[in-house]
């Protein structure tokens, strides 16, 4: 089986893998973040008092690297408020009161679209990287260097998360149609879909549905198998240079949900305002895979899934996976295009150990998939020597969390590297 060097094997905990995708309940009030993507925030095109339909544009792109936002319900715009985001910041949200009529609008479905029409539709529909990165997909589809290979990331290597797996099994045809559209948009003849070996049903379904030009690649189950550079290496043996992009080695990587949403946007004219999401962990009774409308608050998701589990059981809420996701201090944050999962973990399901002194065991170094020296990097950060951290290559850290996970002293390594990267950016250190 194909893979990359280093990495680790956290318990998979895919306890929702057999739960079919079902529609999630919809709240009375929804909050649509204007920053649901990397890049410039979207600009509102509606005002308080306007009525909107499901699938109606409510905020247009704020630039080339940006994406528009669509309402996921019909109702009335109540205004704009600033709310916390899942990543710890704040941004403006358009507030829509749901009328529960679900009057729909959308884009015109395209039949046999050209390459240019696909890229334009992906841009218009607000499609972004749905594995969590939320980079606008139309930008990826317009590479400034020649590419010959599309790789679809269906590894889903983060513990607990199973929504991509359900899409692969339940919506195989739409996923494959999306892959073919993305290939056409890029003008490439070859695509690979990388799936971890712990998803045999998905591998079988894809193998039956894919044409010859799309190869299903069985990947070793190992974290972070779905990281862009590690996936490219596993599938093609090409190495993305430090500080480089996949297109530097002729590749574009897109998430499986992005392919699925592309198919729906092009063939059905459906903009992106709903996504598959896993809700899991011992803090909620109704774990599962849900089709969730963007704008739904985390508190609403909790309220509807907690069931009979006492509130005090939940010790930590994570948006995303336990390795790369973000702990939530405030459940007013809302589901966006990038929300792949919400985990409500009990105290037994995460490590409560206080950090102790580094014991120089070298595990962090042996496991780092980017071949960095996490131990030395942390020491540089503690000494506030950000020049040294930069020289040790902290910019190449992809914050995968492997080092923190394997560290027996439970050093807060990733947190230190996030701080270092932010400080280096702010101070303009080379």
Residues found near ligand SF4 in the complex (CB under 6 A): 358-364, 368, 370, 372, 374-375, 397-403, 407-409, 411, 413-414, 417
Nearer to ligand SF4, 317 or 414 (CB): 414
Check if the beta carbon of residue 152 is closer than 8 Å to that of residue 254.
yes
- Characterize the bridge pairing of strands 149-154 and 190-196: parallel
Q: Which two tokens stand for residue 338?
A: 């990038």
Asked whether 404 and 414 are in contact (CB, 8 A), the reply is yes
Please state the closest distance from residue 271 (CB atom) to ligand SF4, in A.
34
Closer of 337 and 375 to ligand SF4 (Cβ) = 375
**Biggest distance spanned by C-alpha atoms of the chain:** 62
Q: How far is the CB of 394 from ligand SF4 (least distance, A)?
A: 8
Residue 137: HSE in the Cβ half-sphere, 13 Å Cα cutoff: 40
| Residue 185: closest CA among 125, 245, 240 | 125
Minimal distance, residue 381 CB to ligand SF4, in Å: 11
Torsion of CA 219, 224, 226, 227, to 10 degrees: -130
Distance CA 331, CA 11 (A): 26
Minimum Å gap between C-beta 378 and ligand SF4 is 6
Q: Min. distance of Cβ 414 from ligand SF4 in angstroms?
A: 5
CB of residue 427 to ligand SF4, shortest distance in Å: 20
Q: Contact, 229 vs 398, CB < 8 A?
A: yes
Q: Toward ligand SF4, which CB reaches closer, 87 or 299?
A: 87
Residue 234 token pair: 């596993």
What does the alpha-carbon distance between residue 293 and residue 298 come to, in Å, rounded to a whole number? Answer: 12
CB of 383 to ligand SF4, least distance (A): 15
| Of the candidates 46, 39, 78, the residue with the CA atom closest to the CA atom of residue 62 | 39
CB of 405 to ligand SF4, least distance (A): 8
Of 201 and 359, which has the nearer Cβ to ligand SF4?
A: 359
**Phi, psi at 393, each rounded to 5°:** 90, 30
What the block records as the tokens of 297 is 């608050």
Residue nearer to ligand SF4 on the CB measure, 144 or 360: 360
Give the residue with the Cβ less far from ligand SF4, 256 or 392. 392
Q: Are strands 314-319 and 326-327 parallel, antiparallel or unpaired?
A: antiparallel
- CB 14 within 8 Å of CB 322: no
Closest to ligand SF4 by CB, 8 vs 13, is 8
Q: How far is the CB of 380 from ligand SF4 (least distance, A)?
A: 12
CB of 324 to ligand SF4, least distance (A): 9
Query: With respect to ligand SF4, which residue has the nearer C-beta, 102 or 350?
Result: 350
What lies within 8 Å, CB to CB, of 106 at 6+ separation is 55, 268, 269, 270, 271
CA atoms of 254 and 340, how far apart (whole Å) = 15
Closer by beta carbon to ligand SF4, 264 or else 363 = 363
Residue 387 CB neighbour total at 10 angstroms: 13
Compare residues 192 and 417 and give the one whose CB is closer to ligand SF4: 417
Compute φ and ψ for 51, nearest 5 degrees: -100, 145
Whichever of 205 and 398 has its CB closer to ligand SF4, that residue is: 398
Beta carbons of 215 and 227 less than 8 angstroms apart = no
Helices 200-209 and 172-186 pack at an angle, to 10 degrees, of 60
Q: At its nearest, how many Å lie between ligand SF4 and the CB of residue 79?
A: 40
């Amino acid at each position: 089986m194909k893979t990359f060097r280093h990495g680790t094997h956290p318990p998979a905990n895919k306890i929702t893998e057999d739960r079919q995708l079902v529609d999630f309940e919809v709240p009375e009030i929804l909050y649509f973040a204007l920053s649901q993507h990397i890049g410039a925030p979207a600009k509102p095109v509606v005002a308080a008092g306007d009525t909107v339909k499901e699938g109606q544009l409510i905020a247009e792109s704020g630039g080339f690297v940006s994406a528009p936002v669509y309402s996921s319900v019909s109702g009335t715009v109540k205004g704009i408020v600033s709310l916390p985001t899942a990543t710890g910041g704040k941004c403006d949200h358009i507030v829509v009161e749901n009328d529960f009529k679900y009057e729909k609008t959308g884009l015109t479905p395209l039949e046999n679209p050209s390459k240019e029409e696909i890229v334009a539709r992906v841009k218009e529909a607000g499609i972004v990287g749905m594995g969590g990165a939320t980079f606008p997909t139309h930008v990826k589809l317009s590479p400034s260097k020649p590419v010959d290979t599309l790789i679809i990331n269906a590894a889903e290597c983060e513990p607990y998360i199973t929504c991509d797996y359900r899409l692969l099994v339940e919506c195989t045809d739409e996923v494959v149609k999306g892959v073919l559209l993305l290939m056409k948009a890029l003008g490439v003849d070859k695509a690979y879909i990388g799936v971890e070996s712990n998803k045999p049903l998905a591998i079988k379904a894809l193998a039956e549905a894919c044409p010859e030009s799309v190869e299903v690649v069985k990947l070793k189950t190992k974290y972070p198998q779905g990281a862009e550079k590690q996936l490219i290496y596993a599938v093609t043996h090409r190495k993305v240079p430090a500080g480089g992009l996949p297109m530097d080695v002729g590749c574009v990587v897109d998430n499986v949900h992005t392919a699925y949403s592309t198919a729906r946007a092009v063939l059905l004219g459906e903009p992106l305002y709903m996504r598959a999401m896993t809700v899991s962990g011992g803090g909620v009774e109704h774990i599962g895979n849900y089709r969730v409308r963007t704008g739904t608050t985390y508190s609403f998701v909790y309220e509807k899934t907690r069931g009979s589990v006492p509130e005090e059981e939940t010790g930590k809420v994570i948006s995303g996976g336990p390795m790369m996701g973000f702990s939530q201090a405030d459940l007013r944050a809302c589901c966006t295009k990038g929300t792949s999962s919400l985990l409500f973990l009990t105290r037994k399901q995460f490590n409560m150990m206080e950090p102790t002194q580094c014991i120089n065991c070298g595990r962090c170094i042996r496991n780092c998939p980017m071949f960095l020296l996490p131990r030395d990097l942390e020491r540089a950060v503690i000494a506030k020597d950000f020049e040294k951290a930069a020289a040790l290559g902290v910019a190449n850290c992809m914050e995968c969390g492997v080092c923190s996970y394997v560290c027996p002293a439970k050093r807060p390594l990733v947190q230190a590297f996030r701080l270092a990267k932010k400080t280096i950016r702010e101070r303009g250190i080379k």
